[in-house]
Structure 1
Amino acid sequence: MKRMAMAFVAASLLACEDSALDDCAPGLDSCAGTCVDTRIDWSHCGACGRACGEGIGCFGGVCTSPQPMSIPRSGHGVVVGPDERIWALGDSGMPSPTGASEAYDPSTNHWTPLPALLEKRRDVLVAVNLRGAVHAIGGQRLNVPLDTVERLDVSAETWTNSAKLTSPRGAPAVAVGRDEKIYAAWGYSELVGEPTIVPTLDVFDGLKWTAEPAPPPEVIPRFGAVAVGAEDGSILFLGGCKTGAALGMTAVDAYHPDTKTWEPLPALNFPRCAAAAVVAPDGRVFCFGGRDASGQESAAVELYDPAEKEKGWQSAASMPEPRAYMGAVAAGDGRIYVVGGWVYPNSLETTLVYDPATDRWAW
């Protein structure tokens, strides 16, 4: 009798499991007891059990490499647009920038053209305004830093000029805060000889930019830092450069918009200038590549969990190849896309894809 009862319970559990598996959301399939999207799942690509090999990702249900951009880019802006595609804006365009832009659709693994920027610029950082517009902010053209900002609405086909920064900023650190404001810190205002660093932080509320006071002495203004908006509402500024040699720094500082105060955070393990940083879907912060203390491009990756500050920065899987002056974003599929960049002596057109859940790369 006891065995019969146990068998009944086991059968009931299996029935419940089968019922749960039958309840996968539309677009998902049941594979190995888990609901997965076979269009993008690297272990079940196109069909259950069809795993993609090392260095290969799953795009549109096909195991393949991520498509490169149409042209090499470095010093460009990368952002997830309102259409959920990954936008790459501007480029170094040696000997001068071109303003050419394009967008990548992870579901089709294809890049397609976007409207060119009004002003040909490089060292441009971009941010998505939460009201559905993309902003291309600052940068420089022919070694002249810019205070101009361009805006592209989701329904528009051309860029328009937006409110200007309070001062020209080449290679600023830019992020969107949880308060739906854009924060642009530091950068350089002169690039003749040693760069002249802008000490202030500009804040855009959707109408105008205002300059916040310079940070306290322990926070070092720099150019070539990267910024991310953390889940707690703070803005994190990572790495950067102090001199024209573009040698990396390890400093990490948090700005708290609600109190307008700064807080030092655990330093990076590796000096980084012109790196890329992203907040993953689980709230962890990843920092990729950049130029190290000797000025060499790096492939190193590290991560920081704001919920576990005491652990500091931890190592993650290195990029397949070193690079600096690239862009990176977290896309809707939960993965991080590292786009373009520079490794001496060339700009890069390649797209790298990182899965933070498995610590694995596709290239």
Structure 2
Amino acid sequence: MPLIKPLASFENLERAQHNSLHIEAHETMPPVELSNVLKKTMGSNSVRSKRFRALDTLRGLIVMLMIFVNYGGGGYWFFHHAALSSSHLGLATDDSGPGLETVLLLGVLQRLALCYLFTAIIVFFVPGTNDEPNTIHSAIGGKIYRHWRIDLFNSVLRFWLQWLCVLLITIAWLLITFLLNVPNCPKGYLGPGGKHEHGKYQNCTGDWSKTGDLNYARRTHTASVLANGKVLVTGGLNNQGFLNSTELYDPLTQTWTITGSMNNKRAEHTASVLANGKVLVTGGLNNQGYLNSTELYDPSTGVWTITGSMSNARAKHTAAVLMNGKVLVTGGLNNQDFLNSTELYDPSTEIWTITGSMTDTRAEHIISVLTNGKVLVAGGYNSFDRLHSGELYDSSTETWTTTDSMNYTRIQFAASVLINGKVLVTGGSNYNFNRNSAELYDPSNATWAITGSMNYPRWKHTSSVLNNGKILVTGGFHHYPLDTAELYDPSTETWTIIDRMSNARGDHTASVLANGNVLVTGGVYDGEPLNSTELYKSFQIN
């Protein structure tokens, strides 16, 4: 066998690896043997190099994304930690009936590793060409591994359409990030979840974001949007007891300020914005029992004054402002007595008068003013049963008439009047189980019809009509407080899950602001009243 003069040395093997293996024919070993040598020397190193590069890429991605994981997920729900890092324990012995939607099996790092694993499997089993894409054949039968730049160039050529799509998406993202004008928000990247500059612009990242905290944690309170755009929160209950404090939220500064206190502490009351801009608060309960007192808040002075008292003390009742400017109060609970009485408040005289009585006594029901001026009440409960009955009030005759009943009994549910005039009721409970069903009431034929069901059962949630006509449902309870939110599209009668709230909560309020955003306040989580508030942002882009 011919000798290999300098090629047998490791130095010349290395030189041959980086050059073109210029070897005179009479000085070489047979091509097969040389090929095997080159494969063992260079192939194993290349495979090892590829493996290390892959591991380094994975480590780099994990380190890069740790800022999101360690910083509260950056405000993004899909970066939330998994419970106990991987799975809930004790599900088999948990008698609260946990739903699959709450079992978060994998944390973000595990999810990242799985994505990497699946991608690697696809790349391994589905090569780009029939030949090994990262090698070229030498004239002597071996394989010389190419430079990565050649692979990149060939990859672009083979998958030019994919590269073009990625490039266009990247350009669109850069244009939106750095050029799009969003009111009250700077242009450019604002950090994970808007945390840049100590969270100064966290309300500029879309969907949910935290805003200023209430001065007092509270639940079973009320929230009213005033004519000046501010939001008035009144009363409620926390660990210190019943509250008479009230607060104002300024959407421009996103801060809460204390305003005048009510004359009576109260929870489970109602608040209605009158045509003159004042706010009427009615009834409720406190340590002294059920209340028949009512008060007026004047936004121009920030002062509460006592106005006429209702004929009946009541809590867990409903109130609605009629088209003639009067306020109708219906039903409720007085000690252990359920009420079917209704009363009218006249802002011009500040006097209450008894009006027609409902057919059924009821509490924790819904009330909606229809586009034809009539008032719909439905559902609730009384000492006999949970209710699915509905009734209509005619303000011109001050009488009640029965209308079609809902398909299901419901208490502690929510209702919204859609732009098309129909009334959407959602969720609720009948004590035995919680509902995710929804129904539509059509005033034109006075009938109820089943519509698309929510993705989550819930009660003591909120329902808000957005400027685009869709309905936003937030929070509530289903064995535990929920942080989920959903959008209902009346045109398709379907629900879509959206980003989760920052805090799970029930027994809270939701108010649609003048700019189209929705302000959620207070509520309760795990038995603790909340002072946190957050905004659902529906951007109005200039």
TM, length-normalised to structure 2: 0.48
C-alpha displacement at 1:134, in angstroms? 0.8
Question: Following superposition of structure 1 onto structure 2, how do residues 180-259 of structure 1 map, counting pairs within 5 Å?
Answer: 180-190=325-335, 195-206=336-347, 207=349, 208-216=351-359, 221-223=362-364, 225-229=365-369, 233-235=373-375, 240=380, 242=382, 253=390, 255=392, 257-258=394-395
CA distance in 2, matches of 1:340, 1:328: 9
C-alpha displacement at 1:105, in angstroms? 0.7
Find the partner of 2:221 among 59, 72, 76.
76
CA distance in 2, matches of 1:343, 1:205: 38
The answer on whether the counterparts of 1:277 and 1:285 sit within 8 Å (CA) in structure 2 is: yes
- RMSD value over aligned CA atoms? 3.9
The answer on whether the counterparts of 1:228 and 1:277 sit within 8 Å (CA) in structure 2 is: no
Question: Following superposition of structure 1 onto structure 2, how do residues 161-176 of structure 1 map, counting pairs within 5 Å?
Answer: 161-176=306-321
Find the partner of 2:475 among 278, 289, 293.
289
Q: 1:228-286 deviations in whole A, cap 9, x for unaligned?
A: 5455545455765557xxx9x79595745457545446652453654334333345554
CA distance in 2, matches of 1:241, 1:299: 27
Q: In structure 1, give the amino acid aligned to 2:294.
A: V
Q: In structure 2, give the amino acid aligned to 1:62.
A: Y
Find the partner of 1:278 among 461, 464, 470.
464
Cα distance change, pair 254–278 in 1 and its aligned pair in 2 (3 A): farther
Secondary structure of the 1:136 match is: strand
C-alpha displacement at 1:303, in angstroms? 5.8
Matched, 1:343 2:484: no
Quote the residue 2:514 is aligned against: 332
Matched, 1:85 2:230: yes
The answer on whether the counterparts of 2:460 and 2:476 sit within 8 Å (CA) in structure 1 is: yes
C-alpha displacement at 1:346, in angstroms? 0.8
CA distance in 2, matches of 1:110, 1:69: 8
Quote the residue 1:46 is aligned against: 186
C-alpha displacement at 1:341, in angstroms? 0.8
Larger relative contact order (CA 8 Å, sep ≥ 6)? 1
Q: 1:47-73 deviations in whole A, cap 9, x for unaligned?
A: 3x65786588xxx98334311111211
Q: In structure 2, give the amino acid aligned to 1:177.
A: L
Q: In structure 1, give the amino acid aligned to 2:426.
A: L
Quote the residue 1:63 is aligned against: 202
C-alpha displacement at 1:158, in angstroms? 1.9
Matched, 1:268 2:430: no
Secondary structure of the 2:241 match is: coil
Q: In structure 2, give the amino acid aligned to 1:322.
A: A
The answer on whether the counterparts of 1:237 and 1:254 sit within 8 Å (CA) in structure 2 is: yes
Question: Following superposition of structure 1 onto structure 2, how do residues 2-151 of structure 1 map, counting pairs within 5 Å?
Answer: 38-39=183-184, 45-47=185-187, 54=193, 62-64=201-203, 65-142=210-287, 144-151=289-296
Q: 1:178-204 deviations in whole A, cap 9, x for unaligned?
A: 4423232222101xxxx4222233332
Cα distance change, pair 122–160 in 1 and its aligned pair in 2 (3 A): same
The answer on whether the counterparts of 1:250 and 1:267 sit within 8 Å (CA) in structure 2 is: no
Secondary structure of the 1:184 match is: strand
Cα distance change, pair 62–241 in 1 and its aligned pair in 2 (3 A): farther
C-alpha displacement at 1:316, in angstroms? 4.8
The answer on whether the counterparts of 1:176 and 1:228 sit within 8 Å (CA) in structure 2 is: no
The answer on whether the counterparts of 1:234 and 1:254 sit within 8 Å (CA) in structure 2 is: no
Cα distance change, pair 256–352 in 1 and its aligned pair in 2 (3 A): farther
Secondary structure of the 2:228 match is: coil
CA distance in 1, matches of 2:256, 2:486: 28
Q: In structure 2, give the amino acid aligned to 1:187.
A: G
Cα distance change, pair 120–53 in 1 and its aligned pair in 2 (3 A): same
The answer on whether the counterparts of 1:274 and 1:290 sit within 8 Å (CA) in structure 2 is: yes
Q: In structure 1, give the amino acid aligned to 2:505.
A: R
Quote the residue 2:534 is aligned against: 352
CA distance in 1, matches of 2:471, 2:487: 5
TM, length-normalised to structure 1: 0.69
The answer on whether the counterparts of 1:174 and 1:228 sit within 8 Å (CA) in structure 2 is: no
Quote the residue 1:7 is aligned against: none
Q: In structure 2, give the amino acid aligned to 1:209.
A: W
CA distance in 2, matches of 1:341, 1:239: 23
Aligned length: 304
Runs of 5+ consecutive residues of structure 1 not aligned to the other structure: 1-30, 40-44, 359-363
C-alpha displacement at 1:321, in angstroms? 3.5
Runs of 5+ consecutive residues of structure 2 not aligned to the other structure: 1-175, 204-209, 407-423, 430-457
Matched, 1:322 2:463: no
Q: In structure 1, give the amino acid aligned to 2:293.
A: T
CA distance in 2, matches of 1:55, 1:257: 50
Q: 1:72-96 deviations in whole A, cap 9, x for unaligned?
A: 1112111112332111111314343
